[in-house]
Amino acid sequence: MNESDVRSLLEEVEDPDLGTDIVSGNLVNDVRIEDDVAHVSLALGAPYSPTESAIAARVREVLDAEGIESELTANIEREEEVLPGVKNVIAVASGKGGVGKSTVAVNLAAGLSQLGARVGLFDADIYGPNVPRMVGSDERPKATAEEQLIPPEKYGMKLMSMDFLVGEDDPVIWRGPMVHKVLTQLFEDVEWGALDYMVVDLPPGTGDTQLPLLQSVPIAGAVIVTTPQDVAVDDARKGLEMFGKHETPVLGIVENMSGFVCPDCGSEHDLFGRGGGREFAADVDMPFLGEIPLDPRVREGEDGAPLVLGEGDTAEALRSFTETTANNVGIVHRNRRRE
């Protein structure tokens, strides 16, 4: 057994999304043979995504079938960045408020953590920070001797929010350069550590609050949240255009508040219509990440636990959305390897 033999075997492993084998798709960084063990480095950049986990499992299966013991690692090359320990930054955005963007961001982060990933959740909505309340976190960040903030953790997520740094009833009236400075500090002056994903809950809209993030932080991709009705879709289209101007990959469109199942009678009602997000995604040739039902437990808050961690149709929809989003992060990275 030599390196060439192993690479020939790896040509049997297909990338189900891109339609190539992993060798011709440039997804094999390196193959080394040491003590009859094949050490294979794969260019996979979306940890715990179902598709990339399946690719790695298939590599082990192909080599094991030939009696070859293997050890796999996964990494992609990154330039020096603002957040060198963070593998992927996912921005969650909407063209308008009131579409459940923060709910989607919280459940995406919690869902990724549930898959096994190391996750940070950054509440960058400085005018209306509410993520700590949504997850029932009342712990404040601690500080190191070097005046770095240590983010509190909840449900496997490291949390940072303006809500930690201002009084509960204090109005936030910063503009322009002040916003840029605050967001930069919240990124750079926090000990995030090593993360597979950082989910960023952006402020709604397409104003100058979003620009510091897009200009200074390499974003793996953005999720655009809409509800089914036309006015929300029109505003979501503006959000899509904002990311396009900054050449930020868009992972897809998710339709929130898509249908309501009455907890008393069990009948289903389309309070805000249905299908607007799917139609919008098809119209702009973007992936559709799924439909998330309107669930009264979001309003009730229960014990602060994100719904994705529970049971029922809403939890299943959120888990499916999380997995699809993680898979699309991987597609973005693997497509770049082909360029």
Distance CA 23, CA 12 (A): 9
Instruction: Please tell me the predicted confidence (pLDDT) of residue 180.
Output: 66
Identify the CATH assignment for 89-338 out of 3.40.50.300, 2.60.40.420, 3.90.78.10, 3.20.10.10: 3.40.50.300
CB within 8 A of 136, min separation 6: which ones?
154, 301, 303, 304, 305
What gap in Å lies between CA 131 and CA 155, rounded to an integer? 13
- Per residue in 265-311, pLDDT (tens digit) is 555 555 555 667 888 888 888 999 999 987 776 654 445 789 999 98
pLDDT for the residue numbered 168: 56
DSSP string, 173-210: ---HHHHHHHHHHHHHTB---SBSEEEEEPPSSSSTTT
Cα(217)–Cα(213) distance, integer angstroms: 5
Determine the pLDDT at residue 159. Answer: 95
CA 174, CA 182: separation in Å to the nearest integer? 9
Helix (H) or strand (E) holding 280, with range, is helix 276-283
pLDDT score at 3: 92
Give 154's contacts (C-beta < 8 A, 6+ positions apart).
Answer: 135, 136, 137, 139, 304
Q: Which of 114, 120, 109 lies closest to 149 in space, CA to CA?
A: 120
Is the four-CA dihedral 217, 222, 227, 229 of positive or negative sign?
positive
Fold classification of 3-74 is GMP Synthetase; Chain A, domain 3 (3.30.300)
Strands 250-255 and 288-291: parallel
pLDDT, residue 339, reads: 72
**C-alpha separations of 25 from 2, 16, 19, 119, 249 in Å:** 21, 11, 9, 28, 20
Binding-site entries for ATP: 95-102
Q: What is the DSSP letter of 87?
A: S
Place of tokens 């404040």: 140
28, HSE (Cβ side, Cα atoms, 13 Å): 23
Paired strand residues for 229: none
Q: What is the pLDDT along the chain (339 residues), one digit of tens a residue?
A: 789 999 999 999 999 999 999 999 999 999 999 988 999 999 999 999 999 999 999 999 999 999 999 999 998 877 667 788 999 999 998 877 778 889 999 999 999 999 999 999 999 877 777 888 889 888 888 888 888 889 999 999 999 987 887 655 555 555 555 666 777 777 778 999 999 999 999 887 666 566 667 777 888 999 999 888 666 677 777 777 777 777 889 999 999 887 666 555 555 555 555 667 888 888 888 999 999 987 776 654 445 789 999 988 889 999 999 999 999 999 999 999 887
pLDDT at 37: 94
Nearest to 24 by CA among 41, 12, 39, 38: 12
Query: Which among 120, 129, 111 has a CA at the least distance from the CA of 91?
Result: 120
What is this structure's pTM? 0.90
Residue 302, pLDDT score: 47
Extents of the domains making up the chain: 3-74, 89-338
Q: Give 46's strand partners.
A: none
| Structural element, H or E, at residue 20 | strand 20-21
On whether the CB atoms of residues 280 and 289 are closer than 8 A, the answer is no
Binding site membership: which residues?
Answer: 95-102
Query: Tokens 């900054």 identify what position?
Result: 246
